[in-house]
Structure 1
Amino acid sequence: MSIDKPNQTKDIFRSANPGDRISDEPQTIEEKAQQLAVDHVPDITGDTVTVPTYIIVEEPDGEKKALHHVKDAEEISKVRRHLQSANKIEYLTDPHPTI
């Protein structure tokens, strides 16, 4: 529901992490490729991690598209499984991966 209009619903992408937010303004693939959800932050093991907001995938026809690491997680998992089965999983170590 909207605060301004209590009887109307409003789609809002709420996130505690500013890097997870999807911009209201259109972004190019290049801009999305540079956006980080988490940049050099320690994880539970003490290792530092960098997580891209978008994973850039190249379709079989050569077209590139940006998958949001939360919103499109299921599709990213499918791509990852496909790459894993083809032994092409090296993209996971790149903070700005293109798959």
Structure 2
Amino acid sequence: MVLVKEFGFQGQICPYPMVNAMKKIEEYINKMKSGEITEEEVRLSFLVDHMPAADSVPEEIEKRGYGGFRVMKAKGKPLWRIDVQLVRSKIVGD
């Protein structure tokens, strides 16, 4: 099973989207480690409309080694979606 969550950080300027995204990732990692979340995979999506956040969030995800991610830009809009994949076996070592 996969748990999917989306968080909107529109209207926030750096560093707030990055800080808030890292807090959410850490929250879900802790929930997976504690057993509160039992799904094998968690997919978190962060919506940002501040262009520097479209760079800083993925850079921080990569720096911390949190898992696979991708960045997509909405066609014709200043809106980016950053998807992060957290896999239980990589986090808790099952």
TM-score bucket (shorter structure): under 0.3
| Structure with the higher fraction of residues in helix conformation | 2
> TM-score with structure 2 length normalisation?
0.27
Q: Normalised by the size of structure 1, how large is the TM-score?
A: 0.26
